[in-house]
Amino acid sequence: RRALIKGLAAAPAASLIGMPMIARAAEIELKYGNNLPLSHPLNIRAQQAVERVAKETNGRVEIKIFPNNQLGGDTDMLSQVRNGGITFFTPSALVIATLVPVAAINAVGFAFADYDQVWKAMDGPVGAHVRAAIEKVNLYAFEKMWDNGFRQMTTSGKAIEQAADMASLKIRVPVSPLSISMFKALGAAPASLQFSEVYSALQTKVVDAQENPLPIIQVAKLYEVQKSCAVSNHIWDGFWFIANGRAWRGLPPDIQKIVASAINDAGVAQRGDIKSLNETVQADLQAKGLAFNKTNPDSFRAKLRDGGFYREWQERFGAEAWGLLEGAVGKLA
């Protein structure tokens, strides 16, 4: 018996001494899942963060990226990051709101006028409020939110020019109570689907319309199954880079520091990528056959106001969160 124990104890040491030249697996392996194609700036910048972490930890930490819903849709990845099956996930604010309701505060319809307002709010008091709520469900949210963008509506039917054009429109929205509530208030017939299902739902006409920022419409090739795009800017949406709370707290402080800096810096760079992309993406989508039209927000806002959308969500988010949002964007309806 003693010999057996001795033999077992000796084995790792012997193999370390015996094979110093062979690359060994990283000491800490972490998985990161997301819902976007590899060509989206979120994945390009995440890959750079992963390389920086490997370098700065001398190979001790390896983060493996599972893009494009390889691990399942948003709902699946949200449970995986909660139970530790994956360490990192980047849900949209709309999606993490199924778990942390106040996280949808940035997605109130027509709240933000521009990116200056967005980043002041999300790097400031609104973001701090949401991050604290995310920590309460035992997840860790990195400081810098990543950009999804201002959401626009596309359809395979008649172009959407004003709120009245949305009557009974079968439109896909993310798995998000706020999105459902908003599109119902606009008179549409919204259906929640995970992003992994959107292309085929449009292709098979399970739904006629969807809404997403232009870079998503581009990388997910949604222009192939849609005819026109209304530039509505109806919601600003971003991704929270989150970690399983227990896994995050279990990392040594020096590693936490390296990982957090790499991810936050990559997030800020990713915001810049989306900003540059926004200057060229419409022309590219037009060249691919998607027709564009402008919309005036007034008819949409009026419909939301008259339908009680703002009143309802002011109540659901609570006075504190609503006050922080209005502090950033001015009085809402």
Is the Cβ of residue 35 or residue 106 nearer to ligand X2X in the bound state?
35
Among 28, 94, 100, 225, binds ligand X2X (CB under 6 A): 94
Residues numbered 170-199 forming contacts with ligand X2X, rule: CB under 6 A: 174, 195
What is the signed CA dihedral for 302, 129, 321, 112, rounded to 10 degrees? -20
35 binds ligand X2X, rule: CB under 6 A: yes
Q: Which of 326, 300, 64 is nearest to 188 (CA)?
A: 300
Please state the φ and ψ torsions of residue 96, each to the nearest 5 degrees. Answer: -65, -15
Q: Minimum CB separation from ligand X2X for residue 146, in Å?
A: 11
Query: Beta strand pairing status for 209-212 and 170-173?
Result: parallel
* Shortest separation between residue 210's beta carbon and ligand X2X, angstroms: 7
Helix (H, G, I), strand (E, B) or coil at 108: coil
| CB of 61 vs ligand X2X, minimal distance in Å | 26
Binding mask 213-252 for ligand X2X (x = CB under 6 A): ---x------------------------------------
Residues 301, 333: contact at Cβ < 8 Å?
A: yes
Tell me how far the alpha carbon of residue 317 is from its chain's centroid.
Answer: 20
Q: Residue 212 interacts with ligand X2X (CB under 6 A)?
A: yes
Number of H helices, E strands in the chain: 14, 13
- Residues in contact with ligand X2X, counted by CB under 6 A, come to a total of 9
- Give min distance, CB of 311 to ligand X2X, in A: 25
> Can you read off the two tokens belonging to residue 119?
């980043």
Give the nearest distance from C-beta 56 to ligand X2X in angstroms. Answer: 29
From 91-99, 134-142, 256-264, 296-304, span contacting ligand X2X (CB under 6 A): 91-99
What 8-state DSSP symbol labels residue 65? E
Shortest separation between residue 35's beta carbon and ligand X2X, angstroms: 5
Which pairing describes strands 152-155 and 228-231: parallel, antiparallel, or unpaired?
antiparallel
> Under the criterion CB under 6 A, does residue 46 sit at the interface with ligand X2X?
no
Is 95 a binder of ligand X2X (CB under 6 A)?
yes
148 binds ligand X2X (CB under 6 A): yes
Could you say whether residue 77 binds ligand X2X (CB under 6 A)?
Answer: no
Q: Which two tokens stand for residue 238?
A: 């971003």
CB burial readout 67-92, b (16+ within 10 A) else e: bbbebbbbebbbebbbeeebbbbbbb
Binding span for ligand X2X by CB under 6 A among 89-97, 162-170, 269-277, 321-329: 89-97
Asked whether the beta carbons of 184 and 165 are under 8 A apart, the reply is: no
SS3 of 211, please?
Answer: strand
Contact residues toward ligand X2X (CB under 6 A) are: 35, 92, 94-95, 148, 174, 195, 212, 216
